[in-house]
Structure 1
Amino acid sequence: MRLLHTSDWHLGQHFMGKSRQAEHRQLIDWLVAQVDTHAVDAVLIAGDIFDTGTPPSYARELYSDLVVRLHAAGVTLLLLGGNHDSVATLRESSALLERLSARVVPHADAPEAQVCVLPLRSNGAVNARKAPGCVVCAVPFIRPRDVMQSEYGQSAEQKQQSLQLAIQAYYQAVFAAADARRKALEAELGHAVPLIATGHLTTVGASASESVREIYVGALEAFPTSAFPPADYIALGHIHRPQKVGGLTHIRYSGSPIALSFDEATQQKEMLLVDLNETGLQAVTPLPVPVFQPLIALKGNLKTLPASFAQAAQDATPECPAWLEVTVAEDDYLADLPARIQTMTEGLPLEVLRIRRERGNAVAHLTADAGVTLDELDPIDVFARRLAHETLDDEVRDALTTRYKAVVAATVEGDA
């Protein structure tokens, strides 16, 4: 059994006024080619399929295109809901997509409902009977209200502990149901069947990036690896940097396939080829993803930046200009800084999306966030953007942010 583990596609992301549609289309073309080249049996996307709960029409078209093309190749697709995904949006087409070899798991349901079997590839024979390849504990992003009820008078620490225990208990219940399904399959087939689990959450020791939002605000900081069930492989999403968890080969974040923020620009993005057989996990092989849109973060003063811009231009073309974040040091006090940067980049295949002043926070950038709507932001994002326009000490800014997060958490819990 060979799986392709990926996550955090964020279809429909509007990145500082820029659409990622072209990148995602190229990504799908590349993925379909890799599935054929590496004889992949099933593709697993571990959450955050879309960037918002109300994805634009072109993002839904990309989603449908991915499903149809993998179905035509005889490959099963398992789609898990993430914290960015809307349960209703994923659920609305799930019955139809199941006819196209795609299993959609939008939310945490009864444990038995979270168990599925991923079959071996049918080698293009769409209606052929597929042999079972592995059993899956298909656990998506778990919302607190899915597994627990708030109790009056609990402290933040007690709520955090209660949620962690509730998620752990849910995993164990799903694993028990999956193990029963596996034993039944093994009795039928006469040989062992591997079992894997999934998740969309932060684990202890995981390294995040600025594009990763907190998903259990005020309730759960990180889930311990020891609380996962004893699966042969655990495919995780939510953290955009590819990595092993706690140095364990069988617990992995695949990371996002494209850079979703400038601090991810230097990462080698990848997907993971996961090989399993009757004895369990055999190998995990990173599959590097090409860069379809250059993102470059530069830092310097007005004397050094021209050389940096010239270097950055070598990785771009007029048809596909590089997107830049420029942090200006020493000269960051100048009021006409954006105009000066604009003059330096004229004639080069570069687009400056954001200018930062080293001694301040992000300021008005050349293209601004003209295309971003409130639907694409959560309350924390809106508050952070508002603070960016104020001249505040870091301690004051951090204190205000911490207080605001507490208010949001209390409001969410009250609504639940």
Structure 2
Amino acid sequence: MRLLHTSDWHLGRSFHREDLLHAQRAFLDHLVAAAEAHAVDAVLVAGDVFDRAIPSLGAVELYDRVLRRLSERSIPTVLISGNHDSAGRLGMAGSLLRQAGIHLRTAVRELAEPVLLAGGAVALYGVPYLEPALVREELGADSASHTAVLGAALDRVRADLAARGPGVRSVVLAHAFVTGGEIGDSERDISVGGVPTAPASVFDGIDYAALGHLHSPQELAGGRIRYSGSPLAYSFSEAGKEKSVTLVDLDEAGGAVVTRPLPCPVPRAVARLRGRLEELLDAPEHDPRTDDWLQITLTDPVRPRRAMERLRARFPHTLQLLFEPDAAPGAALAVGRDYASRVRGRSDAEIAEGFVQHVRGDQPTAFERELLASAVDEGRLGG
């Protein structure tokens, strides 16, 4: 049995205001081609299909297009809802889509309703993102925690699996943060109070757990539990990381699970550069980065004028500019001290001057000090 595991499409998402629909279309075309080329028995989509609960028209059109193409090729597809999706909206028309080989799992009542392949030899279960406070009672979990509700959900899966007798291979799609996974900057925090993670042991007894939520491809429990990762980079923390979908081969009953990453197309590389402005503008080693989406951190002691304009003349796809001076001589705001200790004994005007120096890297001019003092006085009188 061969499966193609993917997740976290985030259809409709932008990257620092750059439209990604064209890149997402290219990925979905690649996904369909890979499913055909590798003769997969099913495609698994482990949540966060959309980036918003109410997706844009362009995102919905991409979703419709890829499902139609997979259905036309008679490739069964199983999708679950993630924390970015609206479970209710994603689950609409599920009974109709099932007739086309598209199987949606977005509700607690569907946890023990597997999609059966190979005459029932393989059971695919879908565990959508479960918000503990909302599903605890329905699941009968002993607490409103991610561990408790995910554990209760998997208990339902294991009970159904046990009733099917020996020899049935089991695959669970889930959208969750499992302890030990590496998180980046582009995943939305799924905790609303409490600990957002659940232990890998909740998947005990399952042959393969196809996970979504974390955007870097990674495996746990010796490869039995795996995040396919997002198909595109959605933050600069993912710079230099290869994006992929996962090809999963299940051997006969009791056999091994073998996974292999299939690289995704890269619309434009994502990279980070750091240094002083003149060095970045002149250094030839940065020539390969001129077509990349860039986050640039300037380390000049004093913030250079027209920095973004000058950088974009060489690096036209610079999207984010940060300023972290190597040293700001006489800096008024010391690092490593709490705010109260930094401002103790200083007047409001001195605090304002110190803030300007901290942000800009050089001290305010005499004229700027007069403006700050005047503003502080006016604010005090107005209060």
Q: Report runs of 4+ in structure 1 exceeding 6 Å deviation.
A: 391-397
Give the equivalent residue in structure 2 for 1:225. Answer: 200
Q: Which AA in structure 2 matches 1:305?
A: L
8 Å contact from structure 1 (residues 42, 118) kept in 2 = no
User: Are the structure 2 counterparts of residues 35 and 166 from structure 1 closer, same or farther at C-alpha, using a change threshold of 3 Å?
Assistant: closer
The corresponding residue for 1:167 is 150
Partner SS state of residue 84, structure 2: coil
Contact 1:78 1:102 in 2 (8 A): yes
Q: Any conservation in 1 of the 2:47–2:213 contact (CA below 8 Å)?
A: yes
- 2:69 partner SS: helix
Q: Which amino acid aligns with 1:179?
A: A
**CA deviation profile, 1:295-349 (whole Å, cap 9, x unmatched):** 2221121122123552212xx4xxxxx322111112562353223323443xxxx
Q: 1:51 to 1:172 in 2, by over 3 A?
A: same
Paired residue for 1:136, among 108, 124, 130? 124
Cα separation, 2, equivalents of 1:343 and 1:27? 30
2:171 and 2:208 map into 1 onto residues whose CA distance is 5
Distance 1:259 1:22 in 2: 14
Distance in 1 separating the partners of 2:335 and 2:14: 30
* Cα deviation digits, residues 274-309 of structure 1 (max 9, x gap): 111333443111212221222222112112212355
Aligned AA (1:141): Y
Structure 1 residue 179 corresponds to structure 2 residue 149: no
- 3-state DSSP of counterpart to 1:310: helix
Contact 1:7 1:49 in 2 (8 A): yes
8 A Cα contact 2:211 2:225, kept in partner: yes
Query: How far apart, in 1, do the equivalents of 2:334 and 2:106 lie?
Result: 41
Distance (whole Å) between structure 1 residues aligned to residue 25 and residue 302 of structure 2: 38
Match of 1:264 in 2: 238
**Matched residues in 2 for 1:103 and 1:143: separation?**
21
In the TM superposition, 1:24-43 aligns within 5 A as 24-43=24-43
Q: Secondary structure at the match of 1:292?
A: coil
TM-score with structure 1 setting the length: 0.72
Correspondence for 1:326 among 291, 296, 320: 296
CA distance in 1, matches of 2:278, 2:121: 59
Q: How far apart in 2 are the matches of 1:297 and 1:217? A: 32
Task: Assess if the C-alpha contact under 8 Å between 1:233 and 1:281 holds in 2.
Answer: no
Deviation at 1:203, TM superposition (A): 1.1
- Structure 2 unaligned residues grouped into runs of 5+: 327-332, 340-383
Q: CA offset at residue 261 of structure 1?
A: 0.9
Per the alignment, residue 357 of structure 1 pairs with 323
Give SS of 1:354's match. Answer: strand
Secondary structure of 1:45's partner?
strand
Q: Which residue of the partner structure matches residue 5 of structure 2?
A: 5
How many Å separate the matches in 2 of 1:332 and 1:116? 61
Residue type of the partner of 1:240? Answer: H
Distance 1:394 1:99 in 2: 61
CA distance in 2, matches of 1:118, 1:396: 59
Kept in 2: contact 1:175–1:229 (CA 8 A): no
Cα distance change on mapping 1:159 and 1:310 into 2, 3 Å: same
Partner of 2:92: 92
Please say if 1:337 is aligned against 2:307. yes
Q: Which amino acid aligns with 2:242?
A: Q
Rounded Cα–Cα distance in structure 2 between residues aligned with 1:133 and 1:357: 57
SS at match of 1:303: helix
Preserved CA contact (<8 Å) 2:276 2:298: yes
Partner amino acid for 2:87?
V
Q: 1:353 to 1:103 in 2, by over 3 A?
A: same
CA contact (8 A) 2:122 2:169 kept: yes
Could you list the runs of 5+ residues in structure 1 that have no partner in the other structure?
Answer: 121-130, 150-157, 187-191, 317-321, 361-390, 398-416
**AA partner of residue 9 (structure 1):** W
Larger Rg: 2
Deviation at 1:50, TM superposition (A): 0.5
Q: Distance in 1 between matches of 2:268 and 2:314?
A: 21
Q: Higher relative contact order by CA 8 Å / sep ≥ 6: 1 or 2?
A: 1
- The correspondence of residues 17-416 of structure 1 with structure 2, limited to 5 A, is 17-107=17-107, 109-110=108-109, 113-119=111-117, 131-132=119-120, 134-148=122-136, 162-180=145-163, 182-183=164-165, 192-246=167-221, 248-276=222-250, 277-306=252-281, 307=283, 309-313=286-290, 316=291, 322-331=292-301, 333-345=303-315, 350-359=316-325
Query: Aligned AA for 2:133?
Result: R
- Matches of 1:178 and 1:203, distance apart in 2: 22
Q: 1:395 to 1:250 in 2, by over 3 A?
A: farther
Aligned partner letter, 2:274: K
How many residues get paired?
327
